[in-house]
Structure 1
Amino acid sequence: MAHTHSHNTPDGNHTRLAAAFGITALFMLVEAIGGWISGSLALLADAGHMLTDTAALLMALLAVQFSRRKPNARHTFGLLRLTTLAAFVNAIALLVITVMIVWEALRRFYQPQPVAGGLMLTIGVAGLLANLLSFWLLHHGSEEKNLNVRAAALHVLGDLLGSVGAIVAAVIIMFTGWTPIDPILSLLVSLLVVRSAWSLLRESLHELLEGAPGHINVDKLKRELTLNIAEVRNVHHVHLWQVGEKPVLTLHVQVIPPYDHDALLVRIHRYLHQHYQIAHATVQMEYQPCSGPDCELCFDSGSTQHDPHHHAGHVHQHH
């Protein structure tokens, strides 16, 4: 059995993420309070949308923070999965908030409420400026190709639409007095919230259920490993999952008995790392066709026995 591990360096985007999180969280509260005072449901809906951005930024920030903590005997992968759990809870909360906003919007169609257009416009412009500043910070951070930062930047970019919509609605109310534009806009913003929340719920649940990362095709990996390393005859019993942003892989590889066992292990690990960015892989090398309960998930078996012809080696690599 061979293992390879990767140790990340502290992320240089931490400061940008922290600044963007502070700005977004502050103006989320401003929009929520302003929406409550002005009577604008659109501002409250946009505050809900900014909550998705705040949550995305917080998870990105936590991912950076937790990645700095060393694993221990109790948490051998560290605490990276906490960000996934937080995403799952956050997504459910956002869906509940959206249902409440939609319910209130429908009620206001039948019972219109007064809206302070001037205050709504002021807060909408402030929110737009805050989103532009956050996006600028994150856009520069994305140059380092950090997936968390890029995802957070896309969240903030989407929230710009909500701020622009709030400004348009405020202008319409100020010049025409037509208040139904407020619940109409809140419904449109709610669609953005549902889209973000549903995506967050689906992705976090997939990771919590140990689903394979979407960007890695397991069948393709098995096929290419066999084609590109001459000694590899068969790849099977593959299990791929993700912890935080780190893909983790275990697999059995039937090989032609190599002249240099450890060198072949190194080549397999190097291929996985270079072509699939998998830096943590456990490879079991076998010289005979795999048979027995260890080649399948067997939940009724109390233990697994290895074929005496199987051979496994250990190697540690740091990338």
Structure 2
Amino acid sequence: MSLPRFDVLAIGELNPDLVLAGLQADQPRLGTEQEFGAYLLTLGSSTAIACVLMQRLGLATAMSAWVGDDDYGRFCRAALVANHVDVEWVRTHPALPTGLTVCLPYPADRLLLTCKGTMTLNPADGIDEGLLACARHVHVGSFFLQDQLRPQLARLFAMARALGLTTSLDTGWDPQEQWLSDDLRETLAHTSILFPNELEFEHLAGTGEVEAGMARLLDCGVGAVVLKRGADGAVHGDRAGLRRHAGFRAKAVDTTGAGDSFNAGYLAAMLHGAAANERLAFGNACGALTVAAIGGTGGVSDADAVRAFLAARAEA
């Protein structure tokens, strides 16, 4: 049997983020004009941010996605190439525009405004056992934004698991607020790791109580639930019980992509053979580095930077 060509196949949405940084107001207010200090066009999308950061953290990654035949699509493709991500399965649609997310990071929390564009297409079209056999792991983000991928993802994850791959899913926020829909339940039955944040966890599990919520999601067939709690760290739950990491305090400049950065750190540590506690620490370090910079990929340069961060915090 030939060895895998890459460690992670990331399947999902590919779009830029327009980040409006330094907002002076505390929250959005209709009918007003608000000032912000700077703006940045950077690689966005949950799946793509995690894919790029996993590549920087020492994993060989490939991305399957759609973009439009436009400047935003070319920008995204170039960003992947610059980070050495395999783009053989990034396709260009001749008519639909590339999606775009406008990120408004307010002091208390962020607001995301998304135009789907090519996100509505199925990035898994054409993915078969031969391609899956080239990878060790499959990662998908933004489940609820991907209209055509959703009904196909359970089958895809089942195929991956049958080939011996692990799978991970970050659902993101559900704009329709339906949450534990039939297609998601079917997908969770073949999901090795689920990555919700606190709000998503509460909606998916039907409770904010950690132990009860973990039990409900594990009953759906998930191998492990990794609850991301921002500055309060993370909790890993599986059939063996709960493990917690307190996280790291950081001065937040922009929280865009912090959860995706955590995902990348956790998965990089996992695929390098680390135990659950080490995965949580590595993921939390990646998240802390990310919030200290503008844009989802601006804070994590490589694995050495993350290890240096961890070493400095251990000595403090």
TM-score range, shorter chain: under 0.3
- Using CA pairs below 8 Å that are at least 6 residues apart, which structure has the higher relative contact order? 1
**Bigger strand share:** 2
The structure with the larger Rg is 1
